[in-house]
């Protein structure tokens, strides 16, 4: 109980505070805090692995065993909660590391990609998307953009820090997405996760509509993120040189 109180106190600023994070990020963080006391003695990197495993199990159960989508969603929601739990545990027991951040980000990309593929196959099986149609191609592009946007964001952040270490003419912030879009990226994240939760508890809205909306929000978010960071790389890195490259 003492662990729970400490975690709640340290993280209360993030609960449903749109200045800090999206609504569903706050929700997953809250659920992660509730789970953290049960996992406090487990290595945080192993919790990250459990997050990946949960998403992978959901992926395999749908692809190879055709389990109903409502049950598959539960595995992915559990994965999202564990994704917040690992960081909470790591900070509480002072075991944060760059390796932990690396595998956490990598597993995030994999789980998110698994979910996109599951939803894509669901639309095909329900004949909402016809192969070789424009709808089919657009969703394929959205799925492809999921890892690409994360790769570009991480690449930009790494080079920004590199420039700063080498004495850049001006300090470059590694992450600027919210500076440009404000709450829009958080809103698009919330739209995607609202669709996921509605599939679990929904009795009135068609799942095909929810999944189509999910892909729409995902695609818009990816395009915005790619556009912003390509623009920022041109703006912030064009005037910077790496002395090591010039020797």
pLDDT (tens digit, 0 to 9) for every residue of the chain, 247 residues total? 688 889 988 888 888 788 888 999 999 999 999 999 999 999 999 999 999 999 999 999 999 999 999 999 999 999 999 999 999 999 999 998 888 889 999 999 999 999 999 999 999 999 899 988 999 999 999 999 999 998 888 888 888 888 888 776 778 887 766 666 768 889 999 999 999 999 998 778 899 999 999 999 999 999 998 998 898 888 888 765 665 555 5
Write down the residue that tokens 């991480």 correspond to: 154
Closest CA to 91 of 104, 110, 79: 104
Closest CA to 108 of 63, 162, 163, 51: 51
Measured distance CA(47)–CA(53) in Å, rounded: 10
| Separation of CA 91 from chain center | 20
Measured distance CA(182)–CA(156) in Å, rounded: 19
Per-residue pLDDT at 160: 85
CB atoms inside a 10 Å sphere around CB 25 = 20
Closest CA to 84 of 24, 9, 41: 24
Q: 62: helix, coil or strand?
A: helix
Give 208's contacts (C-beta < 8 A, 6+ positions apart): 123, 126, 128
User: Which burial class, exposed, middle or buried, applies to 127 when counting CB atoms under 10 A from its CB (0-12, 13-18, 19+)?
Assistant: exposed
Per-residue pLDDT at 233: 86
In contact, 147 and 199? CB cutoff 8 Å: no
Token pair of 145, please? 């953009």
Token pair of 114, please? 């698994």
Measured distance CA(136)–CA(141) in Å, rounded: 9
Per-residue pLDDT at 132: 81
Tell me the whole-structure pTM to 2 decimals.
0.92
Q: 165: helix, coil or strand?
A: helix
Half-sphere exposure (Cβ direction) of 165: Cα atoms closer than 13 Å: 9
Measured distance CA(184)–CA(173) in Å, rounded: 19
């Amino acid at each position: 109980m003492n662990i729970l109180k400490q975690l709640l106190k340290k993280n209360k600023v993030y609960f449903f505070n749109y200045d800090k994070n999206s609504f569903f990020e706050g929700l997953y963080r809250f659920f992660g805090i509730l789970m953290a006391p049960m996992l406090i003695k487990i290595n945080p990197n192993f919790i990250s692995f459990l997050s990946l495993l949960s998403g992978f199990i959901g992926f395999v159960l749908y692809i190879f065993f055709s389990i109903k989508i409502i049950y598959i969603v539960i595995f992915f929601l559990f994965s999202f909660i564990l994704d917040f739990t690992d960081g909470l545990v790591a900070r509480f027991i002072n075991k944060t590391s760059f390796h932990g951040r690396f595998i956490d980000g990598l597993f995030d990309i994999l789980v998110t990609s698994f979910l996109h593929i599951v939803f894509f196959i669901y639309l095909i099986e329900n004949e909402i998307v016809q192969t070789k149609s424009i709808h089919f191609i657009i969703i394929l592009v959205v799925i492809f953009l999921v890892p690409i946007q994360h790769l570009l964001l991480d690449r930009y952040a790494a080079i920004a820090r590199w420039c700063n270490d080498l004495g850049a003419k001006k300090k470059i912030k590694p992450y600027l997405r919210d500076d440009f879009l404000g709450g829009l990226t958080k809103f698009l994240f919330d739209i995607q996760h609202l669709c996921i939760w509605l599939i679990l508890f929904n009795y009135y809205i068609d799942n095909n509509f929810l999944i189509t909306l999910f892909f729409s929000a995902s695609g818009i978010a990816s395009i915005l993120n790619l556009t912003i960071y390509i623009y920022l790389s041109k703006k912030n890195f064009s005037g910077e040189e790496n002395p090591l490259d010039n020797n």
